[in-house]
Amino acid sequence: MLLNYIKIAWKVLLRHPFYTFITLFGISLTLTVLMVLTSFLDHLIGSHYPENKRDRMLYIMQMHLQDSSRTSSTNGPMSFKFLTEYAKSLKTPERVTITTFINSSNAYVGSQKIKLNTKFTDAEFWQVSDFEFLEGKPYNEQNIANGDNVAVITNDFKKHYFESAVESVVGKDVEIENIHYKVIGVVKASPVTRPFTYADVFFPYTAPKSNYQSAGMRGGFVAMILGKDKADLPAIQEEFQGHINRIPLPIIQDGNKFSVMDVKSVPYLENFVGSILDGNAGIKAIFFGVIGFVLFMLMGLPAINLVNINVSRIMERASEIGIRKAFGAPVKTLVWQFIVENVFITLIGGTIALGLALIVIHIINASGMIAYSDLTINLNVFIISLLVCLLFGLLSGVLPALRMSKLNIAEALKS
Q: Give residue-wise pLDDT tens across range 348-380.
A: 888 888 899 899 989 988 887 777 778 888 777
Q: What is the pairing mode between strands 112-121 and 201-204?
A: parallel
Q: Identify whether residues 337 and 376 lie together within a single domain.
A: yes
Q: What is the mean pLDDT of residues 20-35?
A: 79
Let me know how many helices (H) and strands (E) the chain has, helices first.
Answer: 14, 15
Residue type, 322: G
- 267, 291, 324 - which closes a domain: 267
Structure-model confidence comparison of residues 85 and 372, the more confident one:
85
262 within a domain of the structure (yes/no): yes
362 within a domain of the structure (yes/no): yes
Q: Identify whether residues 122 and 232 lie together within a single domain.
A: yes
Q: Identify whether residues 127 and 24 lie together within a single domain.
A: no
Closest to 63 measured CA to CA, from 281, 205, 287, 240: 240
pLDDT given for residue 334 in this prediction: 77
Helix (H/G/I), strand (E/B), else coil: 347: helix
- 242, 267, 292 - which closes a domain: 267
Q: Identify whether residues 30 and 77 lie together within a single domain.
A: no
188 within a domain of the structure (yes/no): yes
Q: Identify whether residues 138 and 262 lie together within a single domain.
A: yes
pTM of the model: 0.81
Closest to 199 measured CA to CA, from 272, 126, 112, 136: 126
273 within a domain of the structure (yes/no): no
In which domain, by residue range, is 206 found?
54-267
Q: Identify whether residues 357 and 251 lie together within a single domain.
A: no
Exposed (0-12), middle (13-18) or buried (19+): which is 47, by Cβ within 10 Å? middle
369 within a domain of the structure (yes/no): yes
97 within a domain of the structure (yes/no): yes
pLDDT given for residue 278 in this prediction: 61
Q: What is the pairing mode between strands 179-187 and 133-136?
A: antiparallel
Structure-model confidence comparison of residues 231 and 7, the more confident one:
231
Give percent of the chain above pLDDT 70. 87
pLDDT digits (tens, 9 = 90+) for 29-83: 877 887 888 888 888 888 999 999 999 999 999 898 888 777 778 888 999 999 9
Q: Identify whether residues 289 and 356 lie together within a single domain.
A: yes
Closest to 308 measured CA to CA, from 15, 28, 23, 48: 23
Query: Which residues, in sequence order, are CB contacts of 161 under 8 Å at separation 6+?
Result: 107, 109, 114, 153, 174
Residues 124, 95: contact at Cβ < 8 Å? Answer: yes
Q: Identify whether residues 330 and 203 lie together within a single domain.
A: no
Angle between the 379-405 and 318-326 helix axes, to the nearest 10 degrees? Answer: 70
Closest to 246 measured CA to CA, from 93, 85, 97, 94: 85
Q: Could you report how far apart the first and last alpha carbons of the chain are, in Å?
A: 27
Q: What angle do CA 30, 9, 408 make, to 5 degrees?
A: 100
Q: Identify whether residues 170 and 226 lie together within a single domain.
A: yes
The rounded mean pLDDT for the chain is 84
Strand partners, 383: none
Structure-model confidence comparison of residues 103 and 412, the more confident one:
103
